[in-house]
Amino acid sequence: MKSIYIVFVTLFAALSMSVFAAPMTIPMGKHLEKGVTCAQCHKENPPAKAVPFEKCESCHGNNDAMAKRTEKVEPNPHFNHLGDVTCTECHKNHSESVLICSNCHKFNLKTP
Amino acid sequence: MGTLTRRSLLKSGLAAVGAGTVAMMGRPSSAEAATTQKVGKAQTFDAVIVGAGCAGLACAIEVHDQGGKPVVLEKMGRPSGNAIFALGSVCVTGTRLQKEQGIDDDSVEQFYQDMMKVSLQRGDPELTRFYAENSAEAFHWLVDKIGVKFKKIIKAPYPRFGRIHRIDGEGITGGGMLIRKLLAAAKARGIPVLYHTKAVELLTNLKMEVTGVRALTPEGLKDFNAKGGVLIASGGFSANREMLTMYMGGWAANLATRGSPYVTGENIALTKPLYAQLVHMDQFHGGPIVAATHVNPADILNAGYGIIVSMQGQRVIDEASTYVAKAKTLPRVTKENRAFQICDSNSKNPQLAGMIKKYTHLNSPFYQAETLEELAKLTDIPAEALIKTVNEYNDALKNNAPAQLNPPNTLKTPYAVETAPYYAFPFEGGMTATFGGPKINVRAEVVNTEQQTIPGLYAAGNAAGGLFYNDYIGGCQLGGATIFGRVAAKEMVARSKKA
Ligand SMILES: Cc1cc2nc3c(=O)[nH]c(=O)nc-3n(C[C@H](O)[C@H](O)[C@H](O)COP(=O)(O)OP(=O)(O)OC[C@H]3O[C@@H](n4cnc5c(N)ncnc54)[C@H](O)[C@@H]3O)c2cc1C
């Protein structure tokens, strides 16, 4: 964890002050571990804007593809009655992810 | 309009609904952005459709299939009305599926009579007859043109009989599957469905004929001109507390919302300035719901076992009334709009095991105890009151006088609450959908206060008024949205060709 922190500190130091204000309490999790770089998601340099869901789909596939991957999960978060929910409505890359179903349900699902 | 900047729009509350959510929610963000034009520049279509629900999408597809050019405006990032929550019953008669299953004991006339009976003869007779006569055709359209799959019909008592055709949700709600299929059909036809585009005003000419819609888009206000007409398919006002209070009374605003939080009465707000005749405004469908988990407890309330008690431990509702009546009564007889269905372990109760499974599966709290004292402790009901209520109830059964209780219990065969363990299932009264709105005729044209049609203005589904009153036969709302959405399509295409 410490090394990850250092990477971030260095990164931040290189970025402008306004970027500093971004909430990065949970920096990237698996993406960092797997070596996914800022530029693979953010087309602007330095990163400053939210990333469109199409970017996520370019690596992971769309909801239909994801639904197959999590078909054993009950209920399947990627195939639901709300329809085509975009990835980033639930998965927050730099902060705690959410489960939008929880506005109405209490499922035992944890969103990575 | 061109002078409005994005920044100034974002400051206004209205913009916050559409624009503020765009960055995070816009499923079709990049794709749609490419097809939208510059702020303020109007585009012209044969039909402009407000709302991507069942009625709106059915209409758009039919407009296209009749040779017209439709556009669908949807204020949210995806269809977000009541349809996606619907179980998926579609109530129709005279279908191939009925024939295949040998169900031949119904007729259009009988269906019409039953629909009128359920609306206490107050539903518009012409709309009701039109529904009954066109229901089978609408069903076959859903199957043949949209590819909706239906399950085997399960026969039910009056007034559903062999009429309920249940959509196969393939793992999600039937309504959610219906919308997926309608969207796919719209996409296959190249029909533009513009998200984050909220209709805020109807455009008229100097004769006050409706000529289009002004909508708030991520780029600002934009006009959509309609050669044939505008369909209001924005759903009802079940999520608008101000309107519920205004048209029904404060008690109704205390009901939990069973379905969409986004059906907020634009059917009224958009059409009232044109003096549309608003009818059945105090009418709605209610149902029980566990607000915190959205578990539907209707089955256990219908089972015919046990009693319904308030948080204070009093019986509050005749257990023989329908689940609709129970839901509608609860906010009037309890201040919390909350009660418990108390059951014992009578092994004949056909719903108990299923309900335990459902509440458990959906992480919805319910309570089980060996004694009533313990149950009272778990539920926070005063123990003395609960025990007294149960004893009074059991005594009344012994004395053959449950109808003399206050409130009476008029179950045909009531059962004592006497076998441990005891169960308490909490629930709230909820609102499914409102029935009121601008009155339509059988051409789905909106009628004004002088009984004249408003040229170019159409309504269908929960947005339209006239078809339903008091209650409806389960499945007639999705049926009505499909039937009248498609009628509007045919009218608008014909009108556009004449223009
Ligand atoms: C829990 C539940 C179960 C149900 N089960 C059944 C059932 O089994 N069978 C049945 O027949 N009926 C059922 N119903 C009722 C049924 O869902 C509705 O009657 C039906 O969905 C109405 O469809 P609609 O197209 O009129 O509106 P909706 O599906 O409500 O769609 C309206 C759309 O318009 C959009 N909108 C609103 N205002 C604007 C605006 N200003 N600009 C642009 N877009 C706007 C909304 O975002 C929404 O997407 C159920 C309802 C609920 C809540």
Per-residue pLDDT tens over the stretch B128-139: 999 999 999 999
> Which band of pLDDT confidence, cut at 50, 70 and 90, is reported for residue A27?
low
- Higher-pLDDT residue of B23, A87: A87
**Any domain includes B383:** yes
Q: Considering only B19-28, B124-133, B163-172, B210-219, which range has the smallest mean pLDDT? A: B19-28
pTM (predicted TM-score): 0.92
* Bridge partners (DSSP) listed for residue B383: none
Same structural domain, B453 and B470: yes
Determine the distance in angstroms separating the CA of B85 from the nearest CA of chain A, rounded to an integer: 7
**Any domain includes B493:** yes
- Higher-pLDDT residue of B463, B34: B463
Same structural domain, B405 and B484: no
Written as six digits, the tokens of A63 are 């909801």
CA B278 to chain centre: 18
Same structural domain, B91 and B174: yes
Same structural domain, B364 and B483: no
Instruction: Report the pLDDT averaged over residues B436-440.
Output: 98
What residue has token string 């005279």?
B94
Closest Cα partner for B464 from B232, B133, B213, B177? B232
Closest Cα partner for B173 from B232, B44, B259? B259
B461 lines ligand 1 (CB under 6 A): yes
- Facing A105 at nearest CB: one of B25, B29, B293: B293
Mutate to test the interface with A, among B21, B25, B179, B360 (most CBs of A within 10 A): B25
SS3 B210: strand
Chain A hits for B292, CB-CB cut-off 8 Å, are 106
Q: Considering only B34-43, B413-422, B457-466, which range has the smallest mean pLDDT? A: B34-43
Specify the residue with its C-alpha closest to ligand 1, atom 30: B81
Chain B hits for A88, CB-CB cut-off 8 Å, are 24
Number of folded domains that form chain B: 2
> Which band of pLDDT confidence, cut at 50, 70 and 90, is reported for residue A1?
very low
Atom of ligand 1 nearest to the CA of B87: 8
CB atoms within 10 A of CB B456: 30
Instruction: Report the pLDDT averaged over residues B230-247.
Output: 98
Atom of ligand 1 nearest to the CA of B58: 25
The pLDDT assigned to A26 comes to 52
Q: How far is CA B194 from CA A64, B26, B30, B32, B408, in A?
A: 22, 11, 12, 7, 53
- Gap between the Cα atoms of B103 and B323, Å rounded: 27
Determine the distance in angstroms separating the CA of B489 from the nearest CA of chain A, rounded to an integer: 25
Amino acid at B231: L
Determine the distance in angstroms separating the CA of B32 from the nearest CA of chain A, rounded to an integer: 13
3-state SS of A40-77 is HHCCCCCCCCCCCHHHHHHHHCCHHHHHHHCCCCCCCC
What residue has token string 């209709």?
B199
- Facing A83 at nearest CB: one of B79, B171, B363: B79
| Whether the predicted pLDDT of B415 surpasses 90 | yes
Mean of pLDDT over chain B: 93
B478 lines ligand 1 (CB under 6 A): yes
Same structural domain, B278 and B309: no
Specify the residue with its C-alpha closest to ligand 1, atom 5: B86
How many residues in total does chain B contain? 499
- Gap between the Cα atoms of B32 and B22, Å rounded: 12
- What is the Cα gyration radius of chain B? 24
> How do the domains of chain A map onto residue ranges?
2-103
- Higher-pLDDT residue of B386, B23: B386
SS3 B229: strand
**Any domain includes B74:** no
Q: What is the DSSP letter of B361?
A: H
Which CATH number does the domain housing residue B123 bear?
3.50.50.60
The pLDDT assigned to A56 comes to 95
| Whether the predicted pLDDT of A23 surpasses 60 | no
Q: Is A79 on the interface with B (CB under 8 A)?
A: yes
Chain A hits for B362, CB-CB cut-off 8 Å, are 105-107
Task: State the virtual CA torsion across B130, B243, B233, B129 in degrees, nearest 10.
Answer: 0
Q: Are the C-beta atoms of residues B308 and B326 closer than 8 Å to each other?
A: yes
Where among B431, B462, B485 does a domain terminate? B431
Closest-CA residue in chain B for A80?
B172
Mean of pLDDT over chain A: 81
Q: Is B406 exposed, middle or buried (0-12, 13-18, 19+ CB in 10 A)?
A: exposed
Closest Cα partner for B293 from A90, A24, A25, A104? A104
**Any domain includes B75:** no
Same structural domain, B263 and B137: yes
B18 lines ligand 1 (CB under 6 A): no
Question: What's the pLDDT tens digit per position in B48-90?
Answer: 999 999 999 999 999 999 999 999 999 999 999 999 999 999 9
Same structural domain, B302 and B404: yes
Same structural domain, B274 and B156: yes
> Which band of pLDDT confidence, cut at 50, 70 and 90, is reported for residue B6?
very low
| Whether the predicted pLDDT of B10 surpasses 60 | no
**Any domain includes B30:** no
Q: Where are the alpha helices (DSSP H) in B12-161?
A: 13-25, 29-35, 54-65, 96-100, 108-118, 125-144
Domain A2-103: give its CATH superfamily.
Answer: Flavocytochrome C3; Chain A (1.10.1130.10)
The pLDDT assigned to A7 comes to 41
- Gap between the Cα atoms of B368 and B379, Å rounded: 10
**Any domain includes B206:** no
Same structural domain, B416 and B321: yes
Same structural domain, B484 and B335: no
Question: What's the pLDDT tens digit per position in B138-179?
Answer: 999 999 999 999 999 999 999 999 999 999 999 999 999 999
| Whether the predicted pLDDT of B16 surpasses 70 | no
ipTM over 0.85: yes
Contacts of B366 (CB under 8 A, 6+ apart): B355, B356, B359, B360, B423, B424, B425, B426
The pLDDT assigned to A30 comes to 86
- Domain residues for the domain of B151 are 82-194+231-283+435-498
**Any domain includes B51:** no
| Whether the predicted pLDDT of B37 surpasses 90 | no
The pLDDT assigned to A32 comes to 87
Which CATH number does the domain housing residue B325 bear?
3.90.700.10
Instruction: Report the pLDDT averaged over residues B457-477.
Output: 98
| E-only strand ranges, B149-239 | 164-166, 193-194, 198-204, 210-217, 220-232
Closest Cα partner for A31 from A97, A100, A84, A99? A97
Specify the residue with its C-alpha closest to ligand 1, atom 20: B83
Q: pLDDT over 70 for what percent of chain A? A: 75
**∠ CA B77-B82-B85, rounded to 5°:** 95
Q: Is the dihedral of CA B249, B253, B258, B263 positive or negative?
A: positive
B389 lines ligand 1 (CB under 6 A): no
Closest Cα partner for B81 from B71, B91, B72? B72
Q: pLDDT over 70 for what percent of chain B? A: 92
Amino acid at B496: S
Same structural domain, B244 and B309: no
Determine the distance in angstroms separating the CA of A80 from the nearest CA of chain B, rounded to an integer: 6
Backbone angles phi, psi at B296, to 5 degrees: -95, 110
- Gap between the Cα atoms of B181 and B168, Å rounded: 12
Q: Considering only A57-66, B10-19, B250-259, which range has the smallest mean pLDDT? A: B10-19
Where among B376, B396, B431 does a domain terminate? B431
Specify the residue with its C-alpha closest to ligand 1, atom 38: B234
Same structural domain, B426 and B307: yes
The pLDDT assigned to B341 comes to 98
